Amino acid sequence: MSNPASAVVSVTGLSKAYFQGGQNVPVLDGLELSVRDGETVAILGVSGTGKSTLLNVLSGIDAPDSGSVVIDGQDIARLDAAGLARYRREKVGFVFQFYNLLPTLTAAENVMTGWEAAGKPARKGEHAAMEILDALGLQHKADRFPEQLSGGEQQRVAIARALVKRPALLLADEPTGNLDPKTADATTALLLAQARAFARALIIVTHNPGLARHTDRTLVLRDGRLVPAEHAADVTRGMVA
Ligand SMILES: Nc1ncnc2c1ncn2[C@@H]1O[C@H](COP(=O)(O)OP(=O)(O)OP(=O)(O)O)[C@@H](O)[C@H]1O
Ligand SMILES: [Mg+2]
* Ranges of each domain in the chain: 37-63+79-236
Residues linked to residue 70 through DSSP beta bridges, in sequence order: 10, 75
- For residues 7 and 200, the answer to whether their CB atoms sit within 8 Å is no
pLDDT at 222: 96
Residues linked to residue 179 through DSSP beta bridges, in sequence order: none
pTM comes to 0.93
CA of 30 to the centre of ligand 2 (A): 19
CATH 3.20.20.70 fits 37-63+79-236, yes or no: no
Q: Is 23 in the pocket of ligand 1 (CB under 6 A)?
A: no
Closest CA to 171 of 78, 120, 97, 102: 97
Residue 233, burial from CB neighbour count under 10 angstroms (0-12, 13-18, 19+): exposed
Strand order in the sheet with 169-173: 92-95, 169-173, 201-205, 40-44, 217-222, 225-228
CA of 81 to the centre of ligand 2 (A): 24
Q: Is 209 in the pocket of ligand 1 (CB under 6 A)?
A: no
- For residues 69 and 76, the answer to whether their CB atoms sit within 8 Å is yes
pLDDT at 236: 47
pLDDT tens string, the chain, 241 residues long: the values are 445 557 999 999 999 999 988 999 999 999 999 999 999 999 999 999 999 999 999 999 999 999 999 999 999 989 999 999 999 999 999 999 999 999 999 999 999 999 999 999 999 999 999 999 999 999 999 999 999 999 999 999 999 999 999 999 999 999 999 999 999 999 999 999 999 999 999 999 998 877 877 999 999 999 999 999 877 655 545 555 4
Residues linked to residue 227 through DSSP beta bridges, in sequence order: 220
Residue located nearest, by CA, to atom 30 of ligand 1: 48
Tell me if residue 132 falls in helix, strand or coil.
helix
Q: Which atom of ligand 1 is nearest to the CA of 49?
A: 21
